[in-house]
Amino acid sequence: MSIAADRLSDPAVRAFVTAVNANDQQAFRAALAPGATMSDDGTDRALGEWADREIFSSHGRMDVESEDDGGRSLTALYSNDTWGAMRTRWTFTVEDGKVSRFETGQA
């Protein structure tokens, strides 16, 4: 059973997931703190390039299965046109109501 994006506990994470699922690049950028960083499977990536490839040009979608750490740690079924669906984990660092870093990888 999944958790609807609008029911996620942390407002910054909620905005992030909502933007991903709406394929809304403007809302995605608005959810991020200036200079936000990220890693994928333990390797730091250029966030803009990664988001374009893994989310926006490939229609990425997060179906959140569970949340921990006050909503800043998620397990989700992530799917896109490139890789299909896979179970993933996401951890978020939030500063001043924006995501300043996220780390994702296979769960």
Mean pLDDT by 10 residues, the chain (107 residues): 94 98 98 98 97 97 97 98 96 98 97
- pLDDT for the residue numbered 84: 95
- pLDDT for the residue numbered 20: 98
Could you give the number of structural domains in the chain? 1
- pLDDT for the residue numbered 5: 95
Q: Which domain holds residue 94?
A: 5-106
- pLDDT for the residue numbered 68: 97
Pairing state between β 32-40 and 61-68: unpaired
b/e string for 9-20 if b means 16 or more Cβ within 10 A?
Answer: ebebbbbbbbbb
- pLDDT for the residue numbered 1: 75
Q: Residue 21 sits in a domain of what CATH number?
A: 3.10.450.50
**For residues 5 and 14, is the Cβ–Cβ distance under 8 A?**
yes
